[in-house]
């Protein structure tokens, strides 16, 4: 298994960028300082808490290590002070969200492996870790979660691809310090390309439409 220090660094990086995403969303929604802090913390830690509850690691890591709570606090402060200089706030939120998604999918999959889960289960938990915080962020911000919106550029699919890549690479001779950053880069690049090119997930075919009132 990869060194604990390297895994912790990746997870703290994911916490920071997800916290920035949550704080910027709160600023967009007009939340006050308390709301900005709450949304930063929930976005940063929500996926990890869900992961830890599933694997039975209680209390969750977010409540065992002070740094996990302080990093979102610092990110919220940075966003609170520096957001006026961000020219394209909406895209910046998505950019940080993509980075957090990438880092959390990788660390979530690796942590699941460390707790004895199989390849498929670890990959699924990696996706849950990646999308959980963003899902909670959108619910608290009173907006339809990006994960399920029909107009959202590919979100869960890049997460699935990256988590699957980690699960497959885990059974090869490739060292974890090599494939883990590559998998994170894959997720980020996939998500970023989907945003720039507006790739959407396929929808179910509609066999018919409801008649209008004039036709009824």
Domain coordinates in residue numbering, the chain: 4-197
Enter the tokens of residue 13.
């990086």
More confident residue, 86 or 163: 163
How many other CB atoms are found less than 10 A from the CB of residue 139?
Answer: 13
Contacts of residue 45, Cβ cutoff 8 Å, sequence gap at least 6: 15, 60, 62, 68, 69, 72, 133
112: pLDDT strictly greater than 60: yes
| Mean predicted confidence (pLDDT) in 16-37 | 90
Q: How confident is the model at residue 98 (pLDDT cuts 50, 70, 90)?
A: confident
The pLDDT of residue 90: 66
Q: Cβ-count burial of 109 within 10 angstroms (0-12 exposed, 13-18 middle, 19+ buried)?
A: buried
The pLDDT of residue 176: 86
The pLDDT of residue 6: 66
pTM across the whole model: 0.81
pLDDT tens digits along 56-67:
988 998 898 888
The DSSP symbol for 206 reads: P
Enter the tokens of residue 159.
């997460």
Q: How confident is the model at residue 96 (pLDDT cuts 50, 70, 90)?
A: confident
The pLDDT of residue 214: 45
More confident residue, 177 or 91: 177
Ranking 59-68, 77-86, 134-143, 172-181 by mean pLDDT, the lowest is 77-86
Q: State what percent of residues in the chain have pLDDT above 70.
A: 89
Alpha helices in 83-199 (DSSP H): 89-114, 119-140, 156-169, 176-197
pLDDT tens digits along 195-214:
999 898 888 777 655 554 54
Closest by Cα among 4, 93, 18 to 48: 18
What rounded mean pLDDT belongs to the chain? 85
Contacts of residue 171, Cβ cutoff 8 Å, sequence gap at least 6: 119
27 within 8 A of 5, measured Cβ to Cβ:
no
Enter the tokens of residue 70.
């302080």
Residue with tokens 């929604």: 29
Contacts of residue 35, Cβ cutoff 8 Å, sequence gap at least 6: 26, 29
pLDDT tens digits along 7-20:
677 778 888 888 98
86: pLDDT strictly greater than 70: no
């Amino acid at each position: 298994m990869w060194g604990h220090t390297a895994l912790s660094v990746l997870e703290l990086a994911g916490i920071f960028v997800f916290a920035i995403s949550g704080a910027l969303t709160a600023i967009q929604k007009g939340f006050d300082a308390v709301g900005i802090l709450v949304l930063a913390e929930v976005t940063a830690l929500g996926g990890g808490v869900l992961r830890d509850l599933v694997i039975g690691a209680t209390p969750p890591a977010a409540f065992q290590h002070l740094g996990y709570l302080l990093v979102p606090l610092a990110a919220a402060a940075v966003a609170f002070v520096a957001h006026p200089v961000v020219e394209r706030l909406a895209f910046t939120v998505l950019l940080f969200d993509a980075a957090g998604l990438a880092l959390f999918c990788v660390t979530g999959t690796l942590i699941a492996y460390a707790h004895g889960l199989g390849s498929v289960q670890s990959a699924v938990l990696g996706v849950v870790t990646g999308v959980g915080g963003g899902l909670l962020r959108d619910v608290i911000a009173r907006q339809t979660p990006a994960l399920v919106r029909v107009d959202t550029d590919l979100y869960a699919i890049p997460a699935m691809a990256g988590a699957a890549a980690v699960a497959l690479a885990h059974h090869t001779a490739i060292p974890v310090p090599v494939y883990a950053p590559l998998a994170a880069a894959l997720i980020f690049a996939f998500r970023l390309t989907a945003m720039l090119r507006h790739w959407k997930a396929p929808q179910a075919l509609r066999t018919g439409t409801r008649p209008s009132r004039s036709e009824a």
